[in-house]
Structure 1
């Protein structure tokens, strides 16, 4: 499971994800990408589930880049604990994803395989996503 090796502080404020993504909005590595269309926190487990879905669909052909990293500790208090007595212990790690952020990139596979892989990955994620293609790449659509 993904998590930072070390952090400056053990716990963080929840914060808000406002506006569009500040960076990571262009394809930098692959020919195909999966772009977030909504703001949300993506947990390390969801990233790992999406990664597995993509690599299984691609049958380990091509190359995959994960462009997000879960660096936000999310705390939870135990069940049936009374109010107060401080903040809960860190339970899991999450990545803050703003609209426009490219989360995954693929290269070295056909358009159909990339599209299928990203559709399977999108089913594992809690947000709306969009498959994007680098300019000049064949998209598989027949033009007349």
Structure 2
């Protein structure tokens, strides 16, 4: 189905804050071209999967694609038409906090033009602005 952890220490977590810039995972590690987040935000596992599928389809399964983010943040929601209070809702889906500058996807083994085209298509599936990073 979608990406999610096999198990986690705590079932629900607090919202927390989004950091403004990414200083650790802001450079290429595996591939020759990458897709980078231009702004910070929360990306769900569904978004990541749809972007991955779009990129894979564009490159016609040639080359190698790396996912540099993993959704390990449980997002909770209460059912519709439920009154306030009575605790936090159950986990509805999984997501990842992304800071601006973080590398999301990396590619190698294909031409640059094909990779740029694939990343444009994949970046359109994500809820944040992205940059193609060579």
Q: Same fold (TM over 0.5)?
A: yes
Task: Provide the secondary structure at the position in 1 that maps to 2:82.
Answer: coil
What pairs with 1:39-78 in structure 2 (closer than 5 Å)?
A: 39-78=40-79
Matched, 1:30 2:36: no
| Corresponding residue for residue 88 of structure 2 | 87
Structure 1 unaligned blocks of 5 or more: 134-144
RMSD: 0.6
Give the Å deviation of 1:114. Answer: 0.3
Query: For 1:111 and 1:11, how far apart are their aligned partners in 2?
Result: 41
Task: Provide the secondary structure at the position in 1 that maps to 2:74.
Answer: strand
| Corresponding residue for residue 108 of structure 1 | 109
Between the two proteins, the alignment pairs up a number of residues equal to 133
Query: For 1:69 and 1:111, how far apart are their aligned partners in 2?
Result: 25
Structure 2 unaligned blocks of 5 or more: none
Task: Provide the secondary structure at the position in 2 that maps to 1:92.
Answer: strand
Give the Å deviation of 1:19. Answer: 2.1
Q: Could you tell me the TM-score, scaled by structure 1's length? A: 0.91
Q: Could you tell me the TM-score, scaled by structure 2's length? A: 0.98
| Corresponding residue for residue 124 of structure 1 | 125
1:12-48 superposed Cα distances (whole Å, 9 cap, x missing partner)? 0111102211311110000000000111110000000
State the 4+ residue runs in structure 1 displaced beyond 2 angstroms: none
| Corresponding residue for residue 6 of structure 1 | 7
